[in-house]
Amino acid sequence: QKEVEQNSGPLSVPEGAIASLNCTYSDRGSQSFFWYRQYSGKSPELIMFIYSNGDKEDGRFTAQLNKASQYVSLLIRDSQPSDSATYLCAVNMYSGGGADGLTFGKGTHLIIQP
Amino acid sequence: SQTIHQWPATLVQPVGSPLSLECTVEGTSNPNLYWYRQAAGRGLQLLFYSVGIGQISSEVPQNLSASRPQDRQFILSSKKLLLSDSGFYLCAWSVRGVETQYFGPGTRLLVL
């Protein structure tokens, strides 16, 4: 049974600070990891994906993966009020072409306070 | 560029009525297609995925079914809706051979 766990929050962070979002997964065979952002009433939009241990940076966002600890995180630097949303962590067991769907966590509600 | 469409955007249906939700993708060929449901207080749940025309895999037993009559068209159906079918239905696509999935705008379904 593949499971993805996230703290539901809300996580409140002051504007300009670093927001840290965490996710753990149960399937040690998982190989690809995704972060989506979902505004209230809208569909999820992809922020980043990561396949290898370590850090991956894209603008203000950094994804971190530790497969030994089965842990993936998302850091948002210089947080803006527009970053306020629910952040979904998703895991796919296969990499390199698997057609299986993603297993999602329930999401962390992030609030950036001006 | 690729675009994914879903309709209708919102739907209110009585219990026991049929359902048909449609999803189409533009700007790509041979995509993998997915149906997810997001119910209140629950995470996104994969319902069906398809790797090609007529090829459907079901993840969760339920009174829903899916079909893929054309390469870029994915349909979610039910013969008789239940109250528990209420939720936000999301279609997603991915390039064949790549795991990254992109979501459509979704259909919000309320069964009364």
List of E strands, chain A: 4-5, 11-14, 19-25, 32-38, 45-50, 54-58, 61-66, 71-76, 85-92, 103-104, 108-113
Judge: B96–A44 Cβ closer than 8 Å, yes or no: no
In tens, the pLDDT along B24-70 reads 999 999 999 999 999 987 889 999 999 999 999 887 767 899 999 99
Q: Which residue in B59, B90, B100 is closest to A49 by CB distance? A: B100
pLDDT band with cut points at 50, 70 and 90 for residue A94: low
How high is the mean pLDDT of chain A?
Answer: 92
d(CA B47, CA B74): 12
Query: Under 8 Å CB-to-CB from B41, ≥6 apart: which residues?
Result: none
Nearest CA in chain B to A49: B100
Give the pairing of strands B10-13 and A19-25: unpaired
How high is the mean pLDDT of chain B?
Answer: 93
Judge: B99–A49 Cβ closer than 8 Å, yes or no: yes
Q: A–B: how many Cβ contacts below 8 A? A: 61
Query: Which residue reads 């090829």 in tokens?
Result: B55
Is 90 exceeded by the pLDDT of residue A95?
A: no
Is 60 exceeded by the pLDDT of residue A102?
A: yes
Residue A31: strand, helix, or coil: coil
For chain B, the straight-line distance linking the first and the last C-alpha, in angstroms and rounded, comes to: 38
Residue count of chain A:
114
Query: Under 8 Å CB-to-CB from A75, ≥6 apart: which residues?
Result: A18, A19, A20, A21, A61, A62, A63, A64
Query: Under 8 Å CB-to-CB from A43, ≥6 apart: which residues?
Result: B90, B103, B104, B105, B106
Interchain contact B106–A (C-beta under 8 A): yes
